[in-house]
Amino acid sequence: MVNNTKIAKFGLAAMAAVVLCACGTGKVSSSSTPASSSSSSSAPVSSSQEDDYSFAQNSTSIAETIWNLQVVGSIDNISAWNPTEHVGDKAVHFTRVSKMLYTLKGVVIALNNEFKFTFDDTWKNDFGWKGFAGNDTTAIKEYITPADQAGVDAGNDSNIKCIKACTLDFEYHPFFVAEAGVSNKLVIKLHA
């Protein structure tokens, strides 16, 4: 009489052996034949194809993002809460310094003026205090504050309000998480 337990153990051992064989030796081989091909060549893999971990980069498929960022608000000589009114205006649009940095310098802000930032001359992905918070220094806190502190405390964004007339420089860091010393995407400095 045949013991079902022994048959089950033998079957499990056989399946484990098949799985281990399917895992292979851990070497990577490449083939010039596409995976969808029905060709079943048994040609040996050359040593130049084994362990080939360097893949050519297809540079045509990676396009660098150009950030079309502008300041909007009740700013003297700009008065542009409508971003479409200033398409291409260099007085309100950031300039690319590098892939990691875009700047806008010398923006004059009067007392009680408010501003924020937006992309692509629309209200798409606009940000204000939330994009700046964390980069605030004692020196800049003397000049700007959130326009709606209660909203910020509740987790909402707010315009940035000028509490002392000044001229400001803005830095946008799209990849701030990869930069030491930058804790958010926007850095605001007093114009030197």
pLDDT at position 22 is 63
pLDDT at position 178 is 92
Q: How many domains does the chain have?
A: 1
pLDDT at position 159 is 94
Supply the CATH number for residue 137's domain: 2.60.40.3620
Residues of the chain with pLDDT under 70: 1-8, 10-11, 18-65, 76-80
Segments forming the whole domain that contains residue 139: 69-190
Instruction: Judge whether 26 and 49 are in contact, CB under 8 Å.
Output: no
Spatial neighbors of 93 by CB under 8 A, at least 6 apart, are 68, 69, 70, 86, 104
38 inside domain? no
31 inside domain? no
pLDDT at position 103 is 96
1 inside domain? no
76 inside domain? yes
Distance (Å, whole) CA 190 – CA 192: 6
The string of pLDDT tens digits covering residues 113-164 is 999 999 998 888 899 999 999 888 888 999 999 999 999 999 999 999 999 9
Predicted model pTM: 0.65
pLDDT at position 125 is 87
